[in-house]
Amino acid sequence: MTAHVIDGKSYAAQLRTRLAGEVRDLAARGARPGLATLIVGDSYPAHAYERRVARLAADLDCHYVREALPADTNQADTVAAVGKLNADPRISGILILRPLPDHISETVLYRALDPLKDIEAVHPVNAGLLALDRPRYIPSTPASVFHMLDRYLTDTGRDPAQVYPHTTLVMVGRSNNVGKPAILLGLARNATVLSCDEHSHTAGLLHHYTRHADILIVAAGVPGLITADHIKTGAIAIDVGINPIHNPHTDTITLVGDLDPDVTQRAEAISPVPGGVGPITDTWLLHNTILAAHHAHNIAAAQPNLDGLTLQTHDERLIPTGS
């Protein structure tokens, strides 16, 4: 068996076409989405991500602001920068880029965000709404994983709503930004979900658990962690990992995922790195920015959530008390 390689770039391009239409519709109502990124310090991956989303914002004719602070900026000044973006009416969504310097508390910064502009659902209110199946925003990386899965299942003639309830889904990694929300999205689709993490005893027995997976999602940040030995024959394996590997001979950096290439011998389908989840994630951030612009202008979004299978996004301010 040689696995099908899922083309994330093509799914991302189709999403961008839809988003361009939504931006035009908003413009006709006198509204324009605005994205702000806040970056503290010189992290290479953070700056690379910032450049990509800045380009996308420009392509989609969204307003864009980049707030870049030196690495030694203190906590109070960083919180003040968030406050400035909260107060700017041209900004509908704010992305705080990680990693942050050690002296900056992520928790404090996330709580300083205006929840309506918190497009990655890192504020406790938005994280809680997602856990309660009432998401205001679905964080872009886990949303992209399920967008990819839903599209792939549909494109191969299967109805995702019928497939997930019969699926064992194993999630490797449980970070707040990827693994945990992906677990919630799997539960919302009625999959049987199993979580593996390096801190639980499953780490040493990883293959024992991953071999049960009809769908395996890996977000550990460990190059080649998952080999053919970890895979059930015919599984779908989604690779979220992005690991820069430095070649000292050529002084170049190559990006690899958490799946070893030999996984293709057993899996039905895999997502590649690069060109898999990453391009959809970038685009989803703009999707959430556009959704935030709808919230800011009290315009009901025609399609609140492009994911849309089981979880609809909500503007909780519009929900009558008691519902």
Q: What gap in Å lies between CA 126 and CA 242, rounded to an integer?
A: 26
Enumerate the β-bridge partners of residue 36: 65, 94
- Integer Cα distance of 284 and 273 in angstroms: 17
CB of 102 to ligand NAD, least distance (A): 15
| Residue 183 binding ligand NAD, by CB under 6 A | no
Cβ closest to ligand NAD, residue 260 vs residue 315: 260
* Residue 174 binds ligand NAD, judged by CB under 6 A: yes
- Which one of residues 175, 190, 227, 310 is an interface residue with ligand NAD (CB under 6 A)? 175
Q: Does 184 bind ligand NAD (CB under 6 A)?
A: no
- CB 273 → ligand NAD: shortest distance, Å? 7
The least CB distance from residue 277 to ligand NAD, in Å, is: 4
For residues 34-93, which are near ligand NAD according to CB under 6 A?
none
Question: Least separation, in Å, of the C-beta of 87 and ligand NAD?
Answer: 28
Minimum Å distance from CB 183 to ligand NAD?
Answer: 11
Half-sphere exposure of 244 (CA within 13 A, CB side): 10
Torsion of CA 72, 102, 138, 185, to 10 degrees: 170
Contact set for ligand NAD, span 254-283 (CB under 6 A): 277-278, 281
| Residue choice 196, 213, 290, 311 for contact with ligand NAD (CB under 6 A) | 196
Site string for ligand NAD, 206-245 (x = CB under 6 A): x------------xxxx--x--------------xxxx--
Q: How far is the CB of 241 from ligand NAD (least distance, A)?
A: 4
Question: Do the Cβ atoms of 61 and 31 come closer than 8 Å?
Answer: no
Name residues whose C-beta falls within 8 Å of residue 69's C-beta, 6 or more positions apart in sequence. Answer: 38, 39, 40, 41, 77, 78, 81
Among 78, 177, 289, 313, binds ligand NAD (CB under 6 A): 177
List the one residue from 1, 80, 108, 203 that touches ligand NAD (CB under 6 A): 203
> Which residue carries 């024959």 as its tokens?
233
CB of 177 to ligand NAD, least distance (A): 5
Stretch that binds ligand NAD, among 100-108, 173-181, 259-267, 307-315 (CB under 6 A): 173-181
# binding residues, ligand NAD (CB under 6 A): 26
Closest contact distance (angstroms) between CB of 299 and ligand NAD is 28
Only one of the segments 60-68, 118-126, 171-179, 286-294 lies at the binding site for ligand NAD (rule: CB under 6 A); that segment is 171-179
Give, as ranges, the residues between 119 and 158 that touch ligand NAD (CB under 6 A). Answer: 141
Is 63 exposed, middle or buried (CB count within 10 Å of its CB: 0-12, 13-18, 19+)? Answer: middle
Torsion sign across C-alpha atoms 102, 104, 105, 106 = negative
Q: Distances in Å between the alpha carbon of 162 and those of 18, 142, 187, 245?
A: 26, 20, 14, 39
Q: Site residues (CB under 6 A) for ligand NAD?
A: 141, 172-175, 177-179, 196-199, 203, 206, 219-222, 225, 240-243, 277-278, 281
